[in-house]
């Protein structure tokens, strides 16, 4: 059984639909109501903080989790866009982006830790981004988003080290989906060559392929959508 958080987003919904269509049991979780495009189990939550997780914990009670996939993430809001220069920095953008991209995914892991199987294979996947790679940062800009994803990657790696001791068949992975046609990437699509902007369906198919090939020895790593490991 897969739990998918952030299921109303472009990638979250495509990931849930893909798994559901191939016959996996999926519980989709979102702050929004179930869209017509998804017919499986859908839980609407008020937020992703621990105090809102009761309905999720109830829904998975007695079931064995094979994976938890989180598609949470922000790049821009009505109040801010990614920074081009230092003058664009604001405490609001830095804090909010860090909160959604790094803090909430870890609160999810904390809230669900006791439900992760200790004696059967399981994956914990959070969508991350290649621009969060410190090694790979040649272009600069997008301070808040880059830093929040770098922090996320560090938090996931740290959790992977801790949980390796108790959850030997668990793989924690950060996956870069590639630039996908969703609300998140919309303002930045104009200058992209058409073959570099992927549909949510294609990205979901690729992400699932990466997930299916994950091994516990790889826990704590960041992966490109083609399955290759990316440097942190
Ligand atoms: N699209 C791309 O080109 C691209 C590239 C690299 C990485 N990514 C990563 O892929 C993931 C999914 O992105 P997407 O393209 O599918 O974006 P999206 O369509 O904008 O979906 C964003 C998701 O984040 C959740 N979310 C947004 N604001 C939130 C808030 N304030 N509090 C809690 N949750 C919030 C939403 O959950 P609800 O269902 O609850 O609304 C939704 O699932 C993100 O982590 C993103 O950084 C995307």
Averaged confidence pLDDT in the chain? 97
Burial environment of residue 187 by CB neighbours within 10 A (0 to 12, 13 to 18, 19 or more): exposed
Atom of ligand 1 minimally distant from the CA of 45: 40
* Ligand 1 proximity of 74 Cβ (cutoff 6 Å): yes
* Ligand 1 proximity of 132 Cβ (cutoff 6 Å): no
Structure tokens at 42: 């859908």
Does the structure show a pLDDT above 90 at 147? Answer: yes
- According to DSSP, the residues that pair with 198 across neighbouring strands are 180
Q: How many CA atoms lie within 13 A of 12 on its CB side?
A: 26
The alpha carbon of residue 131 and the mean position of all alpha carbons in its chain are separated, in whole angstroms, by 14
Does the structure show a pLDDT above 90 at 106? Answer: yes
* Ligand 1 proximity of 180 Cβ (cutoff 6 Å): yes
pLDDT digits (tens, 9 = 90+) for 162-171: 999 999 999 9
Mutation probe of ligand 1 site: the residue of 4, 12, 52, 133 with most atoms within 8 A of C-beta: 12
- CA dist 70 and 200 (Å) reads 15
Task: Please give the distance, rounded to the nearest whole angstrom, from the Cα atom of residue 96 to the centre of ligand 1.
Answer: 13
* Ligand 1 proximity of 182 Cβ (cutoff 6 Å): yes
* pLDDT number for residue 191: 86
- From residue 106, alpha-carbon distances to 22, 78, 103, 153 in Å are 29, 25, 5, 11
What is the domain-level CATH number for residue 161?
3.40.50.720
Q: What angle do CA 198, 203, 205 make, to 5 degrees?
A: 135
Phi, psi of 68 (to 5 degrees): -125, 125
What's the pTM? 0.97
- The dihedral of CA 201, 10, 97, 65: what is its sign? negative
- According to DSSP, the residues that pair with 108 across neighbouring strands are none
pLDDT digits (tens, 9 = 90+) for 3-57: 999 999 999 999 999 999 999 999 999 999 999 999 999 999 999 999 999 999 9
The residue range of the domain holding 54 is 2-230
Mutation probe of ligand 1 site: the residue of 43, 72, 106 with most atoms within 8 A of C-beta: 72
Q: What is the mean pLDDT of residues 86-97?
A: 98
Does the structure show a pLDDT above 90 at 194? Answer: no
Structure tokens at 178: 């590639």
Atom of ligand 1 minimally distant from the CA of 11: 16
Q: Which protein residue's CA is at the shortest distance from atom 32 of ligand 1?
A: 100
- From residue 149, alpha-carbon distances to 66, 99, 100 in Å are 25, 11, 10
Domain count, the chain: 1
């Amino acid at each position: 059984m897969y739990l998918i958080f952030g299921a109303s987003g472009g990638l979250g919904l495509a990931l849930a639909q893909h798994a559901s269509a191939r016959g996996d049991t999926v519980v989709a979780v979102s702050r929004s109501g179930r869209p017509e495009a998804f017919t499986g189990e859908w839980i609407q939550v008020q937020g992703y903080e621990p105090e809102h997780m009761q309905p999720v914990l109830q829904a998975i009670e007695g079931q064995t989790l094979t994976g938890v996939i989180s598609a949470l993430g922000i790049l821009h809001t009505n109040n801010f866009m990614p920074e081009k220069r230092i003058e664009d920095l604001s405490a609001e953008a830095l804090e909010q982006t860090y909160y959604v991209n790094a803090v909430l995914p870890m609160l999810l892991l904390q809230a669900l830790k006791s439900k992760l199987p200790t004696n059967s294979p399981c994956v914990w996947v959070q969508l991350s981004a290649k621009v969060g790679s410190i090694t790979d940062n040649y272009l600069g800009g997008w301070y808040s988003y880059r830093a929040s994803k770098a922090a996320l990657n560090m938090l996931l790696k740290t959790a992977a080290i801790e949980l390796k001791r108790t959850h030997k068949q668990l793989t924690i992975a950060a996956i870069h989906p590639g630039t996908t046609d969703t609300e998140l990437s919309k303002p930045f699509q104009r200058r992209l060559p058409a073959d570099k902007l992927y549909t949510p369906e294609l990205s979901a198919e690729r992400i699932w392929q990466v997930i299916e090939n994950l091994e516990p020895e790889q826990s704590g790593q960041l992966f490109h959508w083609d399955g290759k490991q990316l440097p942190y």
